[in-house]
Structure 1
Amino acid sequence: MIIFHLALGGCLKAPPVDFGITADTGGHIAYVLDAARHQALRDDVEQVVIVTRAFDDIRLDATHSRSHETVADKVAIRRIATDDRRYLEKEALGADLGAFIEAFVVMLADLPRRPDVIHAHFADAAAVAMAAQRRFGIPFVYTPHALGIDKREQRIESPGLDARILAERAAIAAASAIVVSTEEEARRQVAGYGVALGDRIRVVAPGVPRQGRERAVRTLADRLDRWLERPELPIVLAIARPVAKKNLGAIARAFAGNAGLRARANLVILAGQHAHASGEERAALAELRAMADSSALRGRFALPASHDADDVAALYARAADGGVFVNPALHEPFGLTLVEAAAAGVPVVATRNGGPADILATIGHGLLVDPKDETAIGAAMEAIVADPTRHAGFAAAARANVGRYCWHSYAATTSTLYRGLAAPRLLACDIDNTLTGCTESARAFAAWREATDLPFVIATGRGFDAARMILKRWRLPQPDAFIVDVGTRLMLADGRGGWRACPDYARALDANWDREAVEDALAPLEVTRQPEATAGPHKVSFYGTATDAERIRLTLRARGLAARTVFSHGRLIDVLAPTGGKAQAIAAFAARSGLTLADCVAAGDSGNDDDMLAACGRAIVVGNAGAELDHLPERPGLLRVAGRHAAGVLEGLTTLGLVARSTPKRCVAAAA
């Protein structure tokens, strides 16, 4: 299995990573690197590639302009360059996203073997993965890390927040699976977007982040006397970006307001790399510096301007000696630092909002607080620092239970999840010359359908009545839904033995479709119309050649009319609403069960099957397919089988592990 991780923001490089060097160089980068390294240790994983953005910035490591970098055995970073070579903060990435998507798709097209799965981190990466899914049928997994809906709930507004929430909703809707770190993320955060999830969401806890080596050189832990009058006292430690949602000012105010705590401990806050602070961060740092210089905190508060991984490891070790780690974020999606603290045996005080509640329930190494109650924050910190017995109990729980957060377990679970995405969960089949044409294999297909629970839909160019008639004539099974008129009508069971057109899908096809204008534009071409019975509100049909189909395309383009022109079976031309087609209809039906096109397998033989064969995660091109499908790009999941008609469908399903090897050895033609 080849796995791609996709993460666009921050300074992603092989360790050591200078965390905090930019606002976006934080916990998600540690997550991606550790996930990739541990997945690569598995025998069933051939390669892991981390794809990110290339940039040039004299303030930052020159490594970020290199197209390739080795991280570990079987793990590499691939950087994609666009015309914009600047480092871009998360909020500015949107302007370059289109160019990055185009470059990423070109890279995938040139690969000798494409990835089996893409794991996208944040919604911008998910937008890139969606493009790859549409073009190549590669399933993608989405990990949000942090969600805009929570910023809004905490009344933290920022430019572009509405667009971010829309992008996150689109990512949740399109992903083949969503991986989050806590039950709270699954239950409240992701569910808050109102998207049907089905069984797509999985809680997979990450492991303990890799810490520094605690080298034999002096670290910040050895130099606290630069800031502190009594450096021998235990420390209250916090590590976070200096932004409003991390609520670092609350720690300083809580510490300053608790005389007992000030007498027993010092405060140390690592708030990013100050020299590279953004506008919001500079304001938060100015507030912290003012408090550090106040009479209450002078000589009691260390606020180092920079730090590295070894400083972090050493300060965790220092905090384990009678101190406490504090995370009072207004909302914390997960809280990797709380797991880091546990690995070092440090008790914690953490926000009750978000992932920390799950972490503390699992490890049991500290206290939860309301992040807006500064008195409670101070009291919780003092309760641990002032009580050696309680401190020792929390420290023992930390060391005993931190192993429940294990990267090897994460790698095993996600690898199983990735492999499962390759197993289709919905079959879409054309009828004519795909399921029909051979009586024996049609009968075998009907027997397979009787024995399987796999949802099955018909996707045909025929109208609804004609499709039902053909199925009956060939004794083929009834599907769970009919996609008819070349994907311009979705027919659903009405629960009373009948069928009804899906009104939501019909409304979606109205967008940018002017049927009357299309007919007027094509009338002068004198192309022969198919019988009126074949037409529909979102479809106009003709007889003609491939040349006629191209004339129609050019005419509509010249008139500025949006439409899709489909040529099939060497003589049929269908002009569809621009958002119509079999692939779109399959996606609409799949979404009703929380599935995406990546979860589907399509089988077909002609040009009107083109879009679904290109877009579904798996596709079966039967052996009797027309030359119209020769242009389909080769990709993982596209199966060109030798079997003809329904025998070919069964051959493809056998290859996918969905049917026993019982396909007929020969086809027996039957009269249509």
Structure 2
Amino acid sequence: MPAPASAASAPAPVPAPAEQRLHLLLISVHGLIRGHDLELGRDADTGGQTKYVVELTKALARQPHVAQVDLVTRRVCDAAVSDDYAQPVEPLGPGARIVRIDAGPAEYLRKEELWDHLDSFADNLFGWIQDQPSRPHLLHSHYADAGYVGVRLSHRTGLPLLHTGHSLGRDKYRRLISMGLSLDDIETRYRISRRIQAEEEVLSSAALVITSTRNEIEDQYELYDCYTPAKMAVIPPGTDLENFHPPGGDDPLDCAALFQASLKAALQEPQKPMILALSRPDLRKNLITLVEAYGESPSLQQLANLVIVAGNRDDIRDLDEGPQAVFTELLLAIDSYDLVGRVALPKHHSAADVPLIYRLAAASRGVFINPALTEPFGLTLLEAAASGLPVVATENGGPVDILANCRHGLLVDPLDRRAMAQALEAILADPQQWERYARQGARLVARHYSWDAHAEAYLARARALVAVKPSQEVPQPTPQAEQRGSRGRTKALFTAIDNTLLGDREGLELLSALINERSKEWLFGIATGRRLDSVLAIIREYGIPVPDILITSLGSEIYYAPNWLPDLAWARHINHLWTPQVLRTLMQELPGVNAQSRREQSAFKLSYHYDAALAPSVDQIRALLRHHDLSVNLTLSFGQFLDLVPARASKGQALRFAAERWRIPLDRILATGGSGGDEDMLRGNTLGVVVANRHQEELSSVLGATEHVYMASQSHARGILEAIAHYDFLEL
């Protein structure tokens, strides 16, 4: 891969010294992202966010205090999409590139289908970072799925995390309910509970949340338990003022010849002003209400044609269910209101056509409309403003701020058809008002929404979070790790104890014999919620082979054989934001939650007995902790043991830390568990196995999660032996 750009490659002004220049890593997992000909509107996942992250990457790379910007997304190898999305690295210019990381199946997946593969994405991205000559200084995640990945990377690397939500699950859930969708339908289609959980987690962990508007903070983030306005910053994105500008005398509007031909074929009077809507074919974009508003207003039909540009299509029957439903509704409404010849639904346009489409609408003295039920920001409103095109926009979300700054149109209730039609007519029928809005939009968008201004404001915030050091070299393994790894052991077996390793004495003897036989080939590790002294007593009592690594107290402590020396680097790493006394005070007020004995507590673990009949639910306790801005990892095991450890600590995170020290690839680690506290050991790239026992339902959430989670039919140690055979681990 290309090395980060040198200082000499950055444009004027004069770059900062190399040791002061930032290396930024942006994460945007879903959609189809490339540096040219963005397929905006291809589907619900390839919209404004994909354009935003590409433009942000380029804008940041132009800044003198930036050395390198990596935009990381998912690699897609699929005959149904361009080969561009299969390229591991795509340069975007000096100091900027797109990096594509494998995760799950090779084919393109919609974002709702990606959740089960995000742990693998995080593991693969961490491995990529480790292979680079230098670490990034910070991470910036975009949307909930990237936030999920960003939290895990931030915990593993200690790097500060920035986050931009783009749209939020709680707000979407609220609006889907208002549209009449059932709770089951919402969960099945949108995986909304996983999305909201990820958003809560990222809000708790992020050092800074970047929003586009004040409305986004006050109306949308306020719905979350982790709502913390103090760490949120409004930094509006920019728009491309070179491509988007008002029509001029030499403007080659005939460049969009195919698009114009489709309008002439569809419209009886194509010379009339154009009411332009440009969005994805998504129910939330509310295009059907726009058609109904137009159909119910004869005077509006006399004034203008309606042109709806909603992605590209060949045959509606070949579209996904959501876009197909939108187009079907639109065509039925056009027929119902007898609008044939007055409404155009062009089938094709290119990304290069989009600026010209805006200018065509402006040249016709038309109006742009964004009728969405809610709009997190509203990039199309900036593009319309830059094109000298007045707008009518939804009053829900980002357009409130945009129109306050650019003063180039009117806000409406997106569900009020009459108000929508009246707003459009008010602009179209008043030439002086149209001129005023067109001039103000073109002038004020340049003042408030340039990419350079956005990048400068962004970096001012980012640099305050980063203590830039002269060298950000990736740490090398310790001498101990090199020595142990050199003994030829290139794979590892990690297992929990209770209800996993223990429970079948004869099976344990068979497994122990195999571990001893393979001790020169495998590392053997135990990961448990128990304390060190308790684990050592069990090892002696049951004749378990002495492990190379002990992960104890739910991943908050790591010890190495033979002298059980603690890993002090791990202790320093997980101590981040750990406030045990505050947690104890809060937890002692909860009914049905009682502290376990002093022997079960440790410096980085608070343990409680949990009575489900009396206590708040685990989700309620988690919400309470978030409300108090307490970042912890909370686990319920065997239905009765509740443990709190630092956010950076868990069995899975400790396993990955130890594996990195021993240079053991995760896909050569067999990780076994049997209760909820083992889940993140099994997710991602490890070869996970859930042994059969009466508590395995706690791990039901990983059923089918990835091809690397095997549900053993046998229990305890025999289940581990079954998994060894299943994965052909002896020959791996």
TM-score (ref. length: structure 2): 0.62
Question: 2:199 pairs with 168, 177, 197, which one?
Answer: 168
Question: 1:414 pairs with 432, 451, 458, which one?
Answer: 458
Q: Equivalent residue for 1:348?
A: 391
Equivalent pairs, count: 493
**Residue by residue, what CA displacement relative to the aligned partner does 1:609-663 show, whole Å, maximum 9, x if unpaired?**
xx99999xxxxxxxxxxxx9x9699xxxxxxxxxxxxxxxxxxxxxxxxxxxxxx
SS in 2 for 1:155: helix
Q: Which shifted more, 133-142 or 252-261?
A: 133-142
Q: Equivalent residue for 1:519?
A: 534
The one-letter amino acid of 1:57's match is D
Q: Equivalent residue for 2:707?
A: none
**1:297 counterpart = 2:339:** yes
Distance 1:523 1:266 in 2: 79
Q: CA deviation at 1:73?
A: 2.1
Tell me if the contact between 1:289 and 1:303 (Cα under 8 Å) persists in the aligned partners: no
Q: Equivalent residue for 2:163?
A: 142
Distance 1:282 1:61 in 2: 22
Tell me if the contact between 2:158 and 2:573 (Cα under 8 Å) persists in the aligned partners: no
Tell me if the contact between 1:122 and 1:145 (Cα under 8 Å) persists in the aligned partners: yes
Tell me if the contact between 1:565 and 1:573 (Cα under 8 Å) persists in the aligned partners: no
Structure 1 residues 97 and 260 mapped into 2: Cα distance closer, same or farther (>3 Å)? Answer: same
**1:238 counterpart = 2:277:** yes
**Residue by residue, what CA displacement relative to the aligned partner does 1:504-547 show, whole Å, maximum 9, x if unpaired?**
xxxxxxx98467x9738616749xxxxxxxxxxxxxxxxxxxxx
Tell me if the contact between 1:236 and 1:326 (Cα under 8 Å) persists in the aligned partners: yes
Tell me if the contact between 1:118 and 1:138 (Cα under 8 Å) persists in the aligned partners: yes
The one-letter amino acid of 2:284's match is K
Q: Equivalent residue for 1:496?
A: none
**1:101 counterpart = 2:122:** yes
SS in 1 for 2:257: coil
Structure 1 residues 595 and 306 mapped into 2: Cα distance closer, same or farther (>3 Å)? Answer: farther
Tell me if the contact between 1:248 and 1:328 (Cα under 8 Å) persists in the aligned partners: yes
Distance 1:369 1:612 in 2: 44
Tell me if the contact between 2:225 and 2:627 (Cα under 8 Å) persists in the aligned partners: no
Q: CA deviation at 1:309?
A: 2.3
Tell me if the contact between 1:23 and 1:277 (Cα under 8 Å) persists in the aligned partners: no
**1:110 counterpart = 2:131:** yes
Q: CA deviation at 1:552?
A: 7.2
**1:384 counterpart = 2:427:** yes
Q: Equivalent residue for 1:155?
A: 176
**Residue by residue, what CA displacement relative to the aligned partner does 1:281-310 show, whole Å, maximum 9, x if unpaired?**
110111112233345311000001221123
Q: Equivalent residue for 1:258?
A: 297
Question: 1:68 pairs with 73, 85, 89, which one?
Answer: 89
Q: CA deviation at 1:280?
A: 1.1
The one-letter amino acid of 2:461's match is L
Structure 1 residues 258 and 350 mapped into 2: Cα distance closer, same or farther (>3 Å)? Answer: same
Q: Equivalent residue for 1:35?
A: 56
Q: Equivalent residue for 1:668?
A: none
Structure 1 residues 57 and 167 mapped into 2: Cα distance closer, same or farther (>3 Å)? Answer: same
**1:315 counterpart = 2:357:** yes
Tell me if the contact between 1:347 and 1:391 (Cα under 8 Å) persists in the aligned partners: yes
**Residue by residue, what CA displacement relative to the aligned partner does 1:550-584 show, whole Å, maximum 9, x if unpaired?**
94777899xxx9565445999786899xxx96655
TM-score (ref. length: structure 1): 0.67
Tell me if the contact between 2:162 and 2:209 (Cα under 8 Å) persists in the aligned partners: yes
SS in 2 for 1:142: strand
**1:220 counterpart = 2:259:** yes
Distance 1:162 1:592 in 2: 18
Q: Equivalent residue for 2:381?
A: 338
Structure 1 residues 388 and 198 mapped into 2: Cα distance closer, same or farther (>3 Å)? Answer: closer
SS in 2 for 1:586: coil
- What pairs up with 1:364-403 in 2 under 5 angstroms? 364-403=407-446
Distance 1:140 1:38 in 2: 19
**Residue by residue, what CA displacement relative to the aligned partner does 1:330-386 show, whole Å, maximum 9, x if unpaired?**
111101001110000111111111111111111111111111111111111111111
**Residue by residue, what CA displacement relative to the aligned partner does 1:408-450 show, whole Å, maximum 9, x if unpaired?**
01111112222111149xxxxxxxxxxxxxxxxxxxxxxxxxx
Q: Equivalent residue for 2:577?
A: 587
SS in 1 for 2:120: helix
Q: Equivalent residue for 1:248?
A: 287
Question: 2:68 pairs with 5, 25, 47, which one?
Answer: 47
Structure 1 residues 552 and 222 mapped into 2: Cα distance closer, same or farther (>3 Å)? Answer: closer
Distance 1:204 1:114 in 2: 26
Unaligned runs of 5+ in 1: 425-510, 527-547, 598-610, 616-627, 634-672
Question: 2:311 pairs with 272, 287, 290, which one?
Answer: 272
Unaligned runs of 5+ in 2: 1-21, 178-185, 245-251, 469-526, 581-625, 633-645, 651-657, 664-732
SS in 2 for 1:71: strand
Structure 1 residues 631 and 167 mapped into 2: Cα distance closer, same or farther (>3 Å)? Answer: closer
Structure 1 residues 550 and 342 mapped into 2: Cα distance closer, same or farther (>3 Å)? Answer: farther
Distance 1:349 1:423 in 2: 45
State the Cα RMSD in Å: 3.6
Distance 1:348 1:257 in 2: 20
Distance 1:13 1:408 in 2: 21
The one-letter amino acid of 1:416's match is A
SS in 2 for 1:8: coil
